[in-house]
Protein backbone atom coordinates (compact mmCIF):
# COMPACT_ATOMS: atom_id res chain seq x y z
CA UNK A 1 0.00 0.00 0.00
CA UNK A 2 1.45 3.42 -0.96
CA UNK A 3 1.44 6.63 1.11
CA UNK A 4 -1.60 8.11 -0.66
CA UNK A 5 -3.62 4.98 0.11
CA UNK A 6 -2.53 5.04 3.74
CA UNK A 7 -3.51 8.69 4.14
CA UNK A 8 -6.88 8.00 2.52
CA UNK A 9 -7.78 5.30 5.04
CA UNK A 10 -6.53 7.38 7.96
CA UNK A 11 -8.94 10.14 6.97
CA UNK A 12 -12.02 7.90 6.98
CA UNK A 13 -14.40 8.52 9.86
CA UNK A 14 -14.51 5.72 12.39
CA UNK A 15 -17.98 6.38 13.82
CA UNK A 16 -21.25 5.59 12.03
CA UNK A 17 -19.42 5.12 8.74
CA UNK A 18 -21.70 4.35 5.80
CA UNK A 19 -20.54 2.69 2.61
CA UNK A 20 -22.17 2.17 -0.77
CA UNK A 21 -20.75 -0.44 -3.13
CA UNK A 22 -21.60 -0.19 -6.83
CA UNK A 23 -21.09 -3.39 -8.80
CA UNK A 24 -21.71 -6.81 -7.31
CA UNK A 25 -19.16 -8.94 -9.10
CA UNK A 26 -16.68 -11.00 -7.06
CA UNK A 27 -14.73 -7.93 -5.92
CA UNK A 28 -17.81 -5.87 -5.03
CA UNK A 29 -19.44 -8.75 -3.14
CA UNK A 30 -16.25 -9.36 -1.17
CA UNK A 31 -16.05 -5.68 -0.19
CA UNK A 32 -19.73 -5.67 0.83
CA UNK A 33 -19.36 -8.80 2.92
CA UNK A 34 -16.26 -7.57 4.74
CA UNK A 35 -17.74 -4.16 5.57
CA UNK A 36 -21.10 -5.62 6.60
CA UNK A 37 -19.48 -8.25 8.82
CA UNK A 38 -17.46 -5.47 10.45
CA UNK A 39 -20.67 -3.76 11.54
CA UNK A 40 -20.89 -0.94 8.99
CA UNK A 41 -24.03 0.10 7.15
CA UNK A 42 -23.64 -0.99 3.54
CA UNK A 43 -25.77 -0.22 0.50
CA UNK A 44 -25.17 -2.67 -2.39
CA UNK A 45 -25.99 -1.54 -5.93
CA UNK A 46 -26.00 -3.26 -9.31
CA UNK A 47 -27.81 -2.98 -12.64
CA UNK A 48 -28.71 -6.69 -12.58
CA UNK A 49 -31.77 -7.55 -10.52
CA UNK A 50 -30.49 -11.08 -9.91
CA UNK A 51 -27.30 -9.82 -8.25
CA UNK A 52 -29.25 -7.41 -6.06
CA UNK A 53 -31.56 -10.17 -4.80
CA UNK A 54 -28.57 -12.45 -4.25
CA UNK A 55 -26.84 -9.82 -2.10
CA UNK A 56 -29.95 -9.53 0.08
CA UNK A 57 -30.35 -13.29 0.26
CA UNK A 58 -26.72 -13.78 1.29
CA UNK A 59 -26.99 -10.93 3.81
CA UNK A 60 -23.79 -9.22 2.67
CA UNK A 61 -25.32 -5.73 2.85
CA UNK A 62 -27.80 -3.73 4.92
CA UNK A 63 -29.71 -2.68 1.79
CA UNK A 64 -29.51 -3.45 -1.92
CA UNK A 65 -31.02 -1.68 -4.93
CA UNK A 66 -31.08 -2.12 -8.68
CA UNK A 67 -29.79 1.03 -10.32
CA UNK A 68 -28.06 2.43 -13.41
CA UNK A 69 -25.40 4.61 -11.78
CA UNK A 70 -24.44 6.29 -15.07
CA UNK A 71 -27.68 8.30 -14.72
CA UNK A 72 -27.37 11.23 -12.32
CA UNK A 73 -31.12 11.27 -11.61
CA UNK A 74 -30.98 7.69 -10.38
CA UNK A 75 -28.06 8.45 -8.08
CA UNK A 76 -29.94 11.32 -6.48
CA UNK A 77 -33.15 9.31 -5.99
CA UNK A 78 -31.31 6.36 -4.42
CA UNK A 79 -29.81 8.49 -1.64
CA UNK A 80 -26.32 7.22 -2.44
CA UNK A 81 -24.99 10.79 -2.59
CA UNK A 82 -25.53 11.05 1.18
CA UNK A 83 -23.10 8.21 1.92
CA UNK A 84 -19.66 8.93 3.37
CA UNK A 85 -17.75 6.63 1.03
CA UNK A 86 -18.75 5.02 -2.26
CA UNK A 87 -16.82 2.11 -3.79
CA UNK A 88 -17.13 1.80 -7.56
CA UNK A 89 -16.45 -1.89 -8.23
CA UNK A 90 -17.42 -1.93 -11.93
CA UNK A 91 -13.83 -2.54 -13.00
CA UNK A 92 -14.55 -4.62 -16.11
CA UNK A 93 -16.90 -2.06 -17.69
CA UNK A 94 -14.73 0.96 -18.38
CA UNK A 95 -17.38 3.41 -19.64
CA UNK A 96 -19.77 2.68 -16.77
CA UNK A 97 -16.95 2.81 -14.23
CA UNK A 98 -15.59 6.15 -15.44
CA UNK A 99 -19.02 7.78 -15.87
CA UNK A 100 -20.18 6.61 -12.44
CA UNK A 101 -17.03 7.88 -10.75
CA UNK A 102 -17.34 11.24 -12.50
CA UNK A 103 -21.03 11.53 -11.55
CA UNK A 104 -20.31 10.80 -7.89
CA UNK A 105 -17.53 13.37 -7.62
CA UNK A 106 -19.49 16.05 -9.49
CA UNK A 107 -22.43 15.41 -7.16
CA UNK A 108 -20.19 16.07 -4.17
CA UNK A 109 -19.54 12.61 -2.69
CA UNK A 110 -16.67 13.09 -0.24
CA UNK A 111 -14.73 9.89 -0.85
CA UNK A 112 -14.89 7.70 -3.94
CA UNK A 113 -12.87 4.49 -4.22
CA UNK A 114 -12.77 3.01 -7.72
CA UNK A 115 -11.56 -0.35 -9.00
CA UNK A 116 -9.36 -0.29 -12.11
CA UNK A 117 -8.83 -3.14 -14.55
CA UNK A 118 -5.74 -1.72 -16.27
CA UNK A 119 -3.09 0.96 -15.87
CA UNK A 120 -4.85 3.21 -18.40
CA UNK A 121 -8.15 2.75 -16.61
CA UNK A 122 -6.43 3.69 -13.35
CA UNK A 123 -5.06 6.93 -14.83
CA UNK A 124 -8.47 7.94 -16.18
CA UNK A 125 -10.18 7.27 -12.84
CA UNK A 126 -7.65 9.51 -11.12
CA UNK A 127 -8.26 12.25 -13.69
CA UNK A 128 -12.06 12.19 -13.21
CA UNK A 129 -11.62 12.64 -9.48
CA UNK A 130 -11.44 9.25 -7.75
CA UNK A 131 -9.94 9.73 -4.28
CA UNK A 132 -8.41 6.25 -4.29
CA UNK A 133 -7.98 3.79 -7.15
CA UNK A 134 -7.34 0.11 -6.46
CA UNK A 135 -6.01 -2.42 -8.93
CA UNK A 136 -6.73 -5.79 -7.22
CA UNK A 137 -5.27 -8.00 -9.94
CA UNK A 138 -2.00 -6.06 -9.93
CA UNK A 139 -1.82 -5.97 -6.13
CA UNK A 140 -2.56 -9.70 -5.87
CA UNK A 141 0.09 -10.47 -8.46
CA UNK A 142 2.70 -8.44 -6.60
CA UNK A 143 1.72 -10.05 -3.29
CA UNK A 144 1.96 -13.53 -4.79
CA UNK A 145 5.36 -12.70 -6.27
CA UNK A 146 6.60 -11.44 -2.91
CA UNK A 147 5.31 -14.59 -1.19
CA UNK A 148 7.10 -16.81 -3.69
CA UNK A 149 10.34 -14.88 -3.18
CA UNK A 150 9.92 -15.10 0.58
CA UNK A 151 9.20 -18.82 0.49
CA UNK A 152 12.31 -19.44 -1.57
CA UNK A 153 14.39 -17.77 1.13
CA UNK A 154 12.76 -19.33 4.18
CA UNK A 155 13.90 -22.84 5.08
CA UNK A 156 11.92 -23.27 8.27
CA UNK A 157 9.70 -21.15 10.50
CA UNK A 158 8.47 -21.59 14.06
CA UNK A 159 5.78 -19.28 15.42
CA UNK A 160 6.24 -18.33 19.06
CA UNK A 161 2.92 -16.47 19.08
CA UNK A 162 0.79 -14.65 16.46
CA UNK A 163 3.26 -11.75 16.42
CA UNK A 164 6.70 -13.38 16.80
CA UNK A 165 8.62 -16.16 15.07
CA UNK A 166 11.95 -17.90 14.82
CA UNK A 167 12.99 -18.15 11.17
CA UNK A 168 15.70 -20.19 9.49
CA UNK A 169 16.48 -18.51 6.20
CA UNK A 170 19.07 -18.14 3.48
CA UNK A 171 21.33 -15.14 3.99
CA UNK A 172 20.29 -12.33 1.59
CA UNK A 173 22.80 -11.50 -1.14
CA UNK A 174 23.04 -7.95 0.23
CA UNK A 175 24.68 -9.39 3.36
CA UNK A 176 27.51 -11.18 1.53
CA UNK A 177 30.95 -10.00 2.60
CA UNK A 178 29.67 -8.08 5.63
CA UNK A 179 30.23 -8.96 9.27
CA UNK A 180 27.55 -9.47 11.88
CA UNK A 181 28.75 -6.30 13.60
CA UNK A 182 28.51 -4.26 10.39
CA UNK A 183 24.96 -5.39 9.69
CA UNK A 184 23.74 -4.89 13.27
CA UNK A 185 20.46 -6.74 12.69
CA UNK A 186 19.03 -5.75 16.04
CA UNK A 187 19.40 -2.03 15.40
CA UNK A 188 18.47 -2.06 11.70
CA UNK A 189 15.68 -4.65 11.72
CA UNK A 190 14.82 -5.37 15.35
CA UNK A 191 15.98 -8.98 14.95
CA UNK A 192 18.16 -11.17 17.14
CA UNK A 193 20.63 -13.43 15.35
CA UNK A 194 20.59 -16.79 17.17
CA UNK A 195 22.79 -18.93 14.95
CA UNK A 196 24.37 -19.44 11.53
CA UNK A 197 25.43 -22.45 9.50
CA UNK A 198 26.48 -23.47 6.02
CA UNK A 199 23.48 -24.55 3.96
CA UNK A 200 24.90 -27.98 3.10
CA UNK A 201 26.15 -28.70 6.61
CA UNK A 202 24.28 -29.75 9.75
CA UNK A 203 26.69 -28.13 12.20
CA UNK A 204 25.24 -24.92 13.62
CA UNK A 205 27.21 -22.09 15.21
CA UNK A 206 25.22 -20.69 18.14
CA UNK A 207 25.75 -17.02 19.09
CA UNK A 208 28.36 -16.41 16.36
CA UNK A 209 31.10 -13.86 16.94
CA UNK A 210 30.54 -10.27 15.82
CA UNK A 211 33.43 -10.45 13.34
CA UNK A 212 31.90 -13.45 11.53
CA UNK A 213 31.45 -12.58 7.87
CA UNK A 214 28.41 -13.68 5.85
CA UNK A 215 29.06 -15.57 2.62
CA UNK A 216 27.09 -17.27 -0.18
CA UNK A 217 25.42 -20.52 0.85
CA UNK A 218 25.11 -19.46 4.48
CA UNK A 219 21.95 -19.85 6.53
CA UNK A 220 20.97 -17.76 9.55
CA UNK A 221 18.42 -18.26 12.30
CA UNK A 222 16.78 -15.09 13.60
CA UNK A 223 14.20 -14.26 16.26
CA UNK A 224 11.86 -11.29 16.11
CA UNK A 225 8.44 -9.88 15.35
CA UNK A 226 6.77 -10.95 12.12
CA UNK A 227 6.76 -7.32 10.98
CA UNK A 228 10.52 -7.09 11.47
CA UNK A 229 11.03 -10.31 9.55
CA UNK A 230 8.90 -9.02 6.66
CA UNK A 231 10.90 -5.78 6.68
CA UNK A 232 14.09 -7.81 6.28
CA UNK A 233 12.71 -9.41 3.09
CA UNK A 234 11.67 -6.05 1.67
Select from 137, 168, 200 the last residue of a domain: 137
Q: What is the mean predicted confidence (pLDDT) over 193-213?
A: 89
Where are the strands (E) in 85-227, listed by range?
A: 85-88, 111-115, 132-134, 154-161, 164-170, 192-198, 205-206, 218-225
**Percent of the chain residues past pLDDT 90, beyond the cut:** 54
Pairwise pLDDT comparison (82 vs 152), residue with the higher score:
82
Query: Looking at the domain assignment, is residue 121 inside a domain?
Result: yes
**Whether residue 160 sits in one domain with residue 129:** no
167 located within any domain:
yes
C-alpha distances in Å from residue 151, one per residue of 168, 180, 227: 11, 24, 16
CATH assignment at residue 211? 3.30.70.1450
Same domain, 117 and 229: no
The predicted structure's pLDDT at residue 1: 39
Q: In this structure, is residue 142 part of a structural domain?
A: no
Tell whether 178 and 131 lie within a shared domain: no
- Are 119 and 130 in contact, with CB atoms under 8 Å apart? no
Asked whether residue 169 is domain-assigned, the answer is yes
Q: Do 47 and 66 meet the contact criterion of CB atoms below 8 Å apart? A: yes
Q: Please indicate whether residue 119 or residue 3 has the higher confidence score (pLDDT).
A: 119
The answer on pLDDT for 90 being more than 60 is: yes
13 and 49 share one domain: yes
222 or 159: which leads in pLDDT = 222
Query: Coil, strand or helix: which one is 228?
Result: helix
Provide the residue range defining the domain that includes 224.
Answer: 151-233
Does 111 fall in a domain?
A: yes
* pLDDT tens digits, 145-156: 566 556 667 788
In a domain, 143, yes or no: no
pTM here? 0.59
21 in any annotated domain: yes
Q: Is the pLDDT of residue 6 over 80?
A: no
From residue 71, alpha-carbon distances to 50, 74, 76, 109 in Å are 20, 5, 9, 15
Distance CA 81, CA 104 (A): 7
Of 102, 65, 98, 59, the closest CA to residue 80 belongs to 65
* Segment 131-144, tens digit of pLDDT: 999 988 777 766 66
Amino acid sequence: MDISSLNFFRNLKTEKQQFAVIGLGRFGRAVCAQLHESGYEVLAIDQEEKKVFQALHDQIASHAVQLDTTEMAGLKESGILEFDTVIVAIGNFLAESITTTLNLKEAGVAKVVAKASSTTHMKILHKVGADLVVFPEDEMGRELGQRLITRNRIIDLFELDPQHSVVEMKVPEEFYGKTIMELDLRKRYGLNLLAIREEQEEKTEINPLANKRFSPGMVMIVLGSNKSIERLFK
